[in-house]
Chains A and B, each alone.
Chain A
Amino acid sequence: MFFKSRRYRKSFLKSLLFVLPGVAITVAFVIYPVINTFWLSLHNWKGVGGAPVIWVGIENYVKTLTSPKFWNSMLNAFYFMVGGFVILMPLAFGMALLVTSKIRGTKFFKASYLMPVMLGTTAVGLMWSFMLNANFGVFAQFLNAIGKPEWIMNWLATPTVNIWCVVLVNEWMYAGYNMLIFAAGIVAIPDEVHDAALLDGCTGLRKIIHITVPLCKNMFMVFSVLCITGCLKAFDIVWSMTGGGPMDTSATPAVLLYTQGFQFKLMGRSGAISMILLILGLVLSILLNNVIFKQDDM
C-alpha cells in the first residue's frame, strides 16, 4: 500500500493531464449539448427563441416509439447495418488482404479504392443520384442499350429499393476507408507468425481464417462499433441522395430527427429521437465490446 505514495500520485496526475484536454473538449461541445437535448426531450418547444418550453414528461418518447415513421426509419438503419456486416465488412477485409498481399501495384489499388471516400458525401450523393436517374442516368442508358428498358425503375423513389441503393452507395464509398482499418491490423501481425504458419503448411484461405482473422480481432471490434454507430447516425449520404423521401420511406433515424426538429419545429420530439439513438448505440457498442469481443487486456 505504501507504494501508492508520491510516485503513484505523480503518475495519476500525469494520466489526468493526458486525458483532460480530450475530456474537456468533448464535454463542452458534445456532452453538454446532449444534456441540453435530453432536457428538451422532456419538453415541447417550437425552436424559436423566447417561445415557451412546456414540460411534457415522457410524452415525446411515447409518441416517438409509437410512430410508424420512427420504426420505418429504424428498419432503414437496420438495412444499413445488414449492408455493413454482410457487404462492407467482407469487401473491406478482402481489399485489405489484396493491398497487403505481394501482388504488384498495391499502391495504385490502395489509392483507387480510397478515392470514393475522398470525394466527400455531397459530391458522392450528387454523382450517384444523377447516375441512378431513370431518365438520363447511366444505368437507364445501359438497360436501354441492351434492350431491357422494362427493367428501368425509379430506383431512388421506390420504397425499400431506394434505401438499398443508398446502402450500396454507402458501401461503395466507405469500403476503401474500412480497408485501411483492416490493413492497419494486418500489417501489425508479426512476421514470425507468418513464417510459422508457412512452416506448418497453413496457407491461402486456411491461413486467413485461422491466423489473419483472429489476429485482427481488435480491428473487427473497431469496425463493428464504428459500423453500428455509423449506421444509426447515417445522415449525409441519405440526405444528399434522397433527402429521406419520398414520404420519409428512405429516412434514417438521424434524418427523421433533423426533419422533426428543423422542418416540423418539434424540438422535443427531435430530442427524444436523439436520446433513443444515443442510448441504443451505446448499449449495442458496450454489448459488442464485452460479450462478443471479450477483451482481457482492457
Chain B
Amino acid sequence: MNKYVVARGIKKGAQYFIAALLAAVTFFPLIVTFISSLKTNDEILLGMFSMPKVWNFSNYPDAVRIANALKSIANSLFVAIATLVVTVIIAMPAAYTIARKSYGYLKAVYILFMAGVMVPVHCTLVSVTKISSSLGTKNSFAFLILIYTAFNLSQAIFLFTGYIASLDRGLDEAAKIDGCGDLHLLVRILMPICKPIIATEAILVFIYGYSELIFSLILITDSSKYTISRAMLNFTANYTTDYGPQFAFVIMSMIPMLIIYLVLHEKVEAGILAGAVKG
C-alpha cells in the first residue's frame, strides 16, 4: 500500500515536472521578446538575453504610432472573429451531412474538401485578385472574410467530419425517435458535444484571420484598414530597422488573442461538463 502511494507520488511529481518544463520552454522566447521590447536597437544587437540598462517603455508608444497598432489590432480582431463565425456556421452542417448521410455524391464532396485542404495559397493569388477586381471589392473586409473562410472551410469540415464520425450514432437515433429534424439535431445536440473540436478549429481559424498577410496585402490597400501583419511591415522595411518597437508590437498584438482564448477556454470547459452525454 505504502509502495503504491510512493509510486503514485513519483508519477505525480514526474507529471508536474514535465508539465512545468514544457511550459518553461514555451515561455522562454516570450520572455526574451518581452525583454527585447524594452531595449534600444544597440542593446538588442549587443546580446538578446542581457537585461536592458534602462527599461525603455517608450517602444510601446512608438509601436502604437508607427504601426497604428490599436487600429490594426482592432481590424484584425474584427476580421478574425467574423471569419471564425462564418466558417463554423458553414462548416458544421456540411460536416454533419458528410459524416451522417450516405448519398453517393457526398464522397465526391468530401474529396473536394480534402483537395481544398491541400491547395497551396500562392497558386491562387492571381486568380483571386482577378475575381476581386472584377467584383470591385478592393478594400472590402467582407470579401477578405469570404476569402479567409474559403481557405479555412476545408480544414474545418475535415476536422468536424472526423469528430462527428467518431461519435456514437445512438444519439442521433434517439433524437430522431423523439421527432428531431436534422437542423434541430445539429444545433441542439451535436453542436454542444462538438464544442471541443469547434473550439480547436476556432482557435486556428482565429489565428489565421488575425495574422494572415498575403491576401490582406493584396486586397486591402487603405492604411486605415490594415491588419496586424500588414502593419508590421512598417517595422521591417529595409531603410528603417527599429527592433524595439517591433518586439513591443508583437507583445501588444498577442494580448487580445490571449484574452479571447482564456474567455473561450472557460466556455469550452463548461460546455464539456454541461454536455452530459459523452459518446
A→B interface (CB under 8 Å): 11-12, 14-15, 18-19, 21-23, 25-34, 36-37, 47, 94-95, 98, 101, 103, 105, 107-123, 126-128, 130-131, 133, 135-138, 141-142, 172, 176-177, 180-181, 183-185, 187-191, 204, 217-219, 221-222, 225-226, 229, 232-233, 235-236, 253-254, 257-258, 261-262, 267, 270-271, 274, 277-278, 281-282, 285-286, 295, 297-298
**Are B93 and A19 closer than 8 Å at their CB atoms?**
yes
Q: How far is the CA of A110 from the CA of B262 in the complex (A)?
A: 10
Q: How far is the CA of A177 from the CA of B33 in the complex (A)?
A: 21
Contacts of B166 in A (CB 8 A): 185, 188, 217-219
**Are B127 and A177 closer than 8 Å at their CB atoms?**
no
Quick check: is B119 within 8 A (CB to CB) of the other chain? yes
Quick check: is B64 within 8 A (CB to CB) of the other chain? no
**Are A225 and B117 closer than 8 Å at their CB atoms?**
yes
**Are A33 and B128 closer than 8 Å at their CB atoms?**
yes
List CB contacts (< 8 Å) of B113-141 with chain A.
113-124, 126-128, 131
Contacts of B126 in A (CB 8 A): 33, 36, 47, 267
Contacts of B169 in A (CB 8 A): 297
**Are A22 and B94 closer than 8 Å at their CB atoms?**
yes
Least Cβ distance of B28 to chain A in Å?
Answer: 8
Contacts of A109 in B (CB 8 A): 19, 22-23
Q: Which of A116, A133, A277 contacts B26 (CB 8 A)?
A: A116
**Given A120-B229, A180-B199, residue A112 in contact with residue B26 (CB < 8 A):** yes
Known: A26-B153, A141-B50, A177-B203. 11 other contacts (CB 8 A): A15-B106, A33-B119, A37-B124, A111-B261, A131-B48, A181-B197, A181-B200, A232-B120, A270-B122, A274-B119, A282-B114
Q: How far is the CA of A109 from the CA of B46 in the complex (A)?
A: 33
Q: Which of A133, A141, A188, A278 contacts B278 (CB 8 A)?
A: A188
**Are A187 and B49 closer than 8 Å at their CB atoms?**
no
Least Cβ distance of A48 to chain B in Å?
Answer: 11
**Given A31-B115, A107-B265, A112-B27, residue A257 in contact with residue B254 (CB < 8 A):** no
**Are B211 and A141 closer than 8 Å at their CB atoms?**
no
Quick check: is B60 within 8 A (CB to CB) of the other chain? no
Quick check: is B82 within 8 A (CB to CB) of the other chain? no
Of all chain A residues, the one with the shortest Cβ separation from B235 is A126
Give the secondary structure class of A's interface. Answer: helix
Q: Which of B122, B124, B163 contacts A184 (CB 8 A)?
A: B163
**Are A18 and B122 closer than 8 Å at their CB atoms?**
no
**Are B11 and A204 closer than 8 Å at their CB atoms?**
yes
Least Cβ distance of A202 to chain B in Å?
Answer: 15
**Are B48 and A141 closer than 8 Å at their CB atoms?**
yes
Q: Which of B117, B123, B262 contacts A270 (CB 8 A)?
A: B123
Q: How far is the CA of A236 from the CA of B207 in the complex (A)?
A: 13
A sample of 21 inter-chain contacts (CB < 8 A) reads A14-B182, A19-B97, A25-B90, A25-B146, A25-B150, A25-B153, A27-B112, A29-B146, A30-B124, A34-B119, A36-B127, A109-B22, A117-B203, A118-B203, A120-B207, A120-B229, A127-B32, A127-B33, A184-B200, A278-B115, A298-B165
